[in-house]
Amino acid sequence: MKNFISAVLVGFVLFVVIGCGGGTPAPVKYQGDWVGTNGTTIYMYADGKAGFRAGNKKVTGGGAEIDDNAKTLTISLFGISETWKIDQEPNDKGEMKLGGVTFKRK
């Protein structure tokens, strides 16, 4: 019985982690896959899912939040997050600058 309860609990936690990521989609101009000149990768999709890999830090299936007043982009999931200062919004060439790093859309 203990094994059954443990299995159900683990299954529920996995369901919540996998199913509850994402949120409000980032504006269309930010959506897509991005690669920074420093190797950082970012993605933001129309379904509200977002993620990044920066060094040893990684978020998959999180949400993106853009604070227009502070001019920041934050991607987070369950307490793991990264925030970048928006130096330059995405332009027609598929480039943006976050925290001094240029990102290009893949």
Question: Is the pLDDT assigned to residue 102 strictly greater than 80?
Answer: yes
Evaluate whether residue 81 is within a structural domain. yes
Evaluate whether residue 50 is within a structural domain. yes
For the chain, the domain total comes to 1
> Which tens digit of pLDDT belongs to each residue from 19-48?
445 678 999 999 999 999 999 999 999 999
Evaluate whether residue 5 is within a structural domain. no
> Which tens digit of pLDDT belongs to each residue from 5-27?
654 444 444 344 444 456 789 99
The domain that contains 44 carries what CATH number? 2.40.128
38-59: average pLDDT: 96
Evaluate whether residue 9 is within a structural domain. no
Evaluate whether residue 11 is within a structural domain. no
In whole angstroms, how far apart are CA 98 and each of 9, 34, 48? 39, 11, 20
Evaluate whether residue 84 is within a structural domain. yes
CA neighbor of 102 nearest in space, from 83, 92, 87: 87
Q: Which domain holds residue 59?
A: 22-105
